[in-house]
A and B are shown apart, each in its own frame.
Chain A
Amino acid sequence: DIVMTQTPLSSPVTLGQPASISCRSSQSLVHSDGNTYLSWLQQRPGRPPRLLIYKISNLFSGVPDRFSGSGAGTDFTLKISRVEAEDVGVYYCMQATLFPYTFGQGTKLEIK
């Protein structure tokens, strides 16, 4: 199975400041069709996961543009340009290139 490793596991951030989460996969996520099926999910407290970004860097509908994704191969990053109170929660990277689909351990974003 592909192991997804996120860092940090906890990220205290000041409101209005940027935040960055790293996700590393144990093998390349480039699919034979040329796509890289790496997505980012947000889970607010007591809520189900919500899709933020798909295929590394594409913003899902309704997601604020302060969120952005980047990376390639085995190294990926989620960035929030200016953290707002509603961004508190746990962020997961997920790979859907190879079965079984796997998730990172999650990074808890909290306000300082």
Chain B
Amino acid sequence: EVQLVESGGGLVQPGGSLRLSCAASGFIFSTYWLHWVRQVPGKGLLWVARISSDGSSTTYADSVKGRFTISRDNAKNTLYLQMNGLRAEDTAVYYCARWSGYYGTMDVWGQGTTVTVSS
């Protein structure tokens, strides 16, 4: 079964750091681009970042550029999101998602992990 499982969310103070992980299974991890998308509780979806299949190319939303870093370990089938300088407005559920070049969209989504930034 194709699966993405996020972890690492929690409560952090403003200005703090957190690293999210997304463990993949059921597909050839190293051949897919991957994304992070977040959702403020009760609100809509916001694209955060993406990374190429080999990790050499990354792209970020303006709202997180310079504070968040997306990376991956293809040997461990795991995607990461390092979040520094966290702000209250970063509070959200963070989803990792697989990009399908065939479908031209994100075809597999994880269940999400919750990040709360508050003092």
Interface set of A (CB-CB < 8 Å, partner B): 35, 37, 39, 41, 47-51, 54-55, 58, 60, 92, 94, 96, 99-106
Contact = CB atoms under 8 A, between A and B. Distances in A.
A52 to B, nearest CB: 10
A47 B39 CA distance: 12
A60 B108 CA distance: 11
Interface of B: 35, 37, 44-47, 59, 61-62, 95, 97, 103-112
A100 B112 contact: no
Contact of A96 (B46, B59, B62, B105): B105
A49 B47 CA distance: 13
A55 B59 contact: no
In this complex, the member of B45, B47, B109 whose beta carbon has the largest number of chain A beta carbons within 10 angstroms is B45
Contact of A48 (B35, B107, B111): B111
Contact of B104 (A37, A49, A50, A92): A37
A48 B106 contact: no
A37 B59 CA distance: 18
B112 A51 contact: no
Given A103-B47, A106-B44, A55 B109 contact: no
Contacts of B110: 48
Contacts of B97: 49
A92 B95 contact: no
A54 B103 contact: yes
Contacts of B37: 49
A54 B47 contact: no
B104 A103 contact: no
Nearest to B105: A39
A102 B35 CA distance: 13
A60 B44 CA distance: 22
B109 A49 contact: yes
